[in-house]
Structure 1
Amino acid sequence: MTLHQAITVLIIDDDEDDRFFMEQAFKTDSPSTQLYLAPDGQQALDLLGSTRPLPDVILLDLNMPGLNGFEVLKRLKQSAHYQHIPVVILTTSDADTDQEQAHQLGATEFITKPTTYDGLSAIAQRIRLTLVK
């Protein structure tokens, strides 16, 4: 088994199944990955306030109750404490307007959620290899 650099990831998604499968994809790709999970935007921001180390990358769903992904992204990128963290939008949307707005607000990448576990695994690997320095 190849050892990978340990990374820390925050997954923000209101869908429990999506959080679970993404968590499993990261654990399969790199078992040393430290994961934080938040079911909504406000809990994610609260968690960030007490989490150390800060995540190396944040995966953020757009469509959530309360603070939606755009609102969370805006707050993250306006914060001196969190603006350096890459934020990957991982959502069911494939709308050009959502992609444009996400990039304007500072998202590092916009990914439409795949429909297979293999697709999620590929995302976990790509994030570890390309977004985390």
Structure 2
Amino acid sequence: MKKQTILLIDDDPDDAEIFSEAIKSLNQDIEIEIYNNSLTALDNLKSSATLPDFIFLDMQMPHLNGNQFLDEIANTHNLANITVVIYSSYSQASLYELVISTRKVILLTKPNSMGELIQNLKTIL
């Protein structure tokens, strides 16, 4: 099985740590890269020779918010087909309102427990 790569963009270090621990607990061959700045993540994606299989994106980011990030990757040819999972503390309904329904994204509200996060990741990955 091919190693999956995940890019997490989240400026909350606690949320990033919990997410990373949840990924490790899956016991799958998954490589994770974490950015706390969406603009830096975008710049690195644009210049990278290898792209992630999934981008998990927090909507509330400094420098470049989630919608702006989504617009940028949608308009960048080699990034447009990466699966994006909106990973935010907003409710599903609020996320839907924030993200135009025609965008190809998966919506995931940050869960209240590690077990719930792990189960959601198993479903997505």
Deviation at residue 105 of structure 1 after TM alignment: 5.9
Write the distance in 2 (CA, Å) between the matches of 1:105 and 1:22: 27
Q: Specify the alignment match of 2:119 in structure 1.
A: 122
| Unmatched runs of 5 consecutive residues or more in structure 2 | none
Q: Specify the alignment match of 2:7 in structure 1.
A: 10
Deviation at residue 31 of structure 1 after TM alignment: 4.2
Deviations 1:63-113 (A, max 9, x none): 111111111011111111100001010100116353134243624211111
| Structure 2 counterpart SS, 1:98 | helix
CA contact under 8 A between 2:92 and 2:107: conserved in structure 1? no
Kindly, what percent of the aligned residue pairs are identical?
A: 30
Q: Identify if the C-alpha distance between structure 1 residues 30 and 75 changes in structure 2 by more than 3 Å, giving closer, same or farther.
A: farther
Q: Specify the alignment match of 1:38 in structure 2.
A: 35
Q: Specify the alignment match of 2:73 in structure 1.
A: 76
CA contact under 8 A between 2:59 and 2:86: conserved in structure 1? yes
Write the distance in 1 (CA, Å) between the matches of 2:49 and 2:29: 16
Task: Give the alignment's Cα RMSD to 1 decimal.
Answer: 1.8
| Structure 2 counterpart SS, 1:104 | coil
TM-score (norm 1): 0.84
CA contact under 8 A between 2:7 and 2:34: conserved in structure 1? yes
Higher mean alpha-carbon deviation, 41-50 vs 96-105, is at 96-105
Q: Which has the higher strand share?
A: 2
Q: How many residues were matched structurally?
A: 125
Q: Identify if the C-alpha distance between structure 1 residues 61 and 7 changes in structure 2 by more than 3 Å, giving closer, same or farther.
A: same
CA contact under 8 A between 2:54 and 2:84: conserved in structure 1? yes
Deviations 1:2-34 (A, max 9, x none): xx6420000000101111111111111134211
Where has structure 1 moved over 4 Å in runs of 4 or more?
none
Q: Identify if the C-alpha distance between structure 1 residues 76 and 126 changes in structure 2 by more than 3 Å, giving closer, same or farther.
A: same
CA contact under 8 A between 1:103 and 1:109: conserved in structure 2? no
